[in-house]
Amino acid sequence: MMDAAKNRSNLVKELWNAAAMKLLVQIWKFRNKAHFDNLTFFELQIRRQVLKGINTAGLLATGAMNNDCQDLQLLRILNAIATGFSNNRYRCIIYLGHPEIVCGL
């Protein structure tokens, strides 16, 4: 699980590690609440907490991103707040000797 982002930019690696750790901690906390306090929880509660953790990690992250389509799309999907990133619409153009290939957000 921790190696899934090893070929990504430093920023994505930091956010991925933060997301994985936040997910494990939230599952542990909610499991304890369910077991000891007889509380029920929903997947949406865990998801909100993980996304909140990703946003906090984005604000604290020191890594740089590659500014390629995959990084930008991932940040947009996670709605991550990262230094130097805004929620503008990005367009990535890759020239391979043929007409441009455009991946939009």
pLDDT, tens digit (0-9, with 9 covering 90-100), for 27-67: 999 899 888 998 887 888 888 888 888 888 888 888 887 77
For 93, the enclosing helix (H) or strand (E) is strand 91-94
Encoded tokens for 3: 């190696």
Whole-number pLDDT of residue 85: 47
Encoded tokens for 4: 């899934």
Contacts of 80 (CB under 8 A, 6+ apart): 15, 54, 55, 57, 58, 74
Rounded CA-CA distance 18/61 in Å is 10
pTM above 0.85, yes or no: no
Q: Residue ranges per domain, the chain? A: 10-104
Taking 50 as the threshold, does the pLDDT of residue 68 lie above it?
Answer: yes
% of the chain exceeding 70 in pLDDT: 74
**CB burial string 37-53: b at 16+ within 10 A, e below:** eeeeeeeeebeebbeeb
Radius of gyration of the chain (CA): 17
Query: Could you tell me which of 101, 99, 92 has the C-alpha nearest to residue 74?
Result: 92
